[in-house]
Structure 1
């Protein structure tokens, strides 16, 4: 998650450095061919370059729109996870007996829910489990390929056991189970976004049209200023590449990059909230970041 309104320019340049190099070489080659050799006499109407540029703009507008929808959907899903985590804890505190046994079960749910959030975020990013998650699974002797799903199953199992133990009202039981079901639904939505690959054909077509534009643009520009001609042939495609790279960054919101959905930060927020709700010891705050983003 960005913690500075201005993302590092160097970070973005590193993302497109090879595109800049390739386009620069191609622009010089195309501009040179326009002034030397048999291609010098060829003239291509600038209107054709404008047509290709307009087509590119429409494709990029669609691509950017679809990518932002994926990014925003991921953020909305995690917003729902935050709300449902608080709701689950509020329901447990309200419906379970105000006894030592009831408080212990509520605490068990709270700790498990916190670990579920961290386990889900780590699974979506495809990174190794944190010490917090590892310790919890080791302590409870749990093993699973899908740790987040296992924890929700443990939620349901403990709810069923507590229902029999405390003779919970059926309506209260259904409400708690519905909240757990919404958490499971949010997990499935995240996995759908993660496992659904954005069609590669869009990038292929966009890159093809960019190089078509670079190939024909020099033959429609004024030959009296070759340096300016090469510069324009370089800058216009770079603008299109930059827009496309922005769309590519947004289309995968669980890839552990600065523009990622801030799942770790949201999980820490959930942890603080739930621990406060069960009057648990305060959670140690994460050290302040010196970079311009925090995951």
Structure 2
């Protein structure tokens, strides 16, 4: 996730270098064609490029809106996860005996759950570095599961049920904590829905092709021919790169859990939750969130 307002030029260049190369090639070819097909090119009106430009603008607007809605929904869901994770620890401290070890065990599992959920969404299953948050028996059981975040929530719910049966929780307290766990489960399901719902690729392919057609017809239209080829070349590149930049931005935002710089900063959020929970437990936090100003993005 990009966390700085100033985006390096190198990042933008890497994103747009392929379209930029093709646009430069098209501009160069269009500058040579009049020497061989002058009579044919003089009949191409600029209205074709204008119509394509309007159509591209409409498609870009639609794609940007839909992509941003997916990205923003993902961010709101993780905002709910932050609130529910804090609420869970507060409820544990409120309803359980302060001296019980179950508060720490349940809180540590919640820390691990946040990290595991982010990795589950990004399809990076490594949890070896999270072993410290579990007992040895719990870790052996959980690491074999196909859906590790769901296994952790199931373990949390089972522990709450045992505490109730052992009379360490009353019925009201059990219901309140179970409701919080249910909200966490619902948030996980919402994230999985976004992850598993593919944005229709036809929009991107159609839009991408339309931009190249726009560049071709604009470069060949007689009304676009200027006195200086360098000026014509520069204008063509600038106009087309604006379209390609917006198209690329929409494409990157439509998948907020793909482990790329523009996705939801699930690792950063999980580390912030970890810091908050350890602080509520009165524990020393040695793993501070990645907020270094030298970093361009946090995954």
1:71, 1:252 within 8 Å by CA — same for their partners in 2?
A: yes
Question: Which residue of structure 2 lines up, in the alignment, with residue 225 of structure 1?
Answer: 228
Instruction: Please report how far the alpha carbon of residue 287 of structure 1 lies from its aligned counterpart in structure 2 after TM superposition.
Output: 6.9
Distance in 1 between the 2:41 and 2:114 partners?
Answer: 65
What's the TM-score, normalizing by structure 1?
0.91
Question: Which residue of structure 1 lines up, in the alignment, with residue 267 of structure 2?
Answer: 264
Distance change in 2, residues 1:118/1:11 (3 Å): same
Counting only pairs closer than 5 Å after superposition, residues 1-295 of structure 1 correspond to structure 2 as: 1-37=1-37, 40-98=40-98, 100=99, 103-136=100-133, 139=136, 140=138, 141-142=140-141, 143-166=144-167, 168-217=169-218, 218-219=220-221, 220-222=223-225, 224-285=227-288, 289=292, 290-295=294-299
Distance change in 2, residues 1:137/1:22 (3 Å): farther
Aligned residue-pair number: 292
Mean CA deviation greater in 69-78 or 224-233: 224-233
Paired residue secondary structure (2:101): helix
What do the CA deviations read for 1:30-80 (whole angstroms, capped 9, x no partner)? 332244225554332223321210110110011111111111111111110
2:78, 2:266 within 8 Å by CA — same for their partners in 1?
A: yes
Distance in 1 between the 2:166 and 2:2 partners?
Answer: 46
Distance change in 2, residues 1:287/1:36 (3 Å): same
Paired residue secondary structure (2:166): helix
Mean CA deviation greater in 25-34 or 132-141: 132-141
Distance in 1 between the 2:264 and 2:80 partners?
Answer: 13
- Residue ranges of structure 2 left out of the alignment (5+ in a row): none
Instruction: Please report how far the alpha carbon of residue 167 of structure 1 lies from its aligned counterpart in structure 2 after TM superposition.
Output: 5.4
- Residue ranges of structure 1 left out of the alignment (5+ in a row): none
Distance in 1 between the 2:224 and 2:3 partners?
Answer: 43
What's the TM-score, normalizing by structure 2?
0.90
Paired residue secondary structure (1:16): helix
Instruction: Please report how far the alpha carbon of residue 282 of structure 1 lies from its aligned counterpart in structure 2 after TM superposition.
Output: 3.2
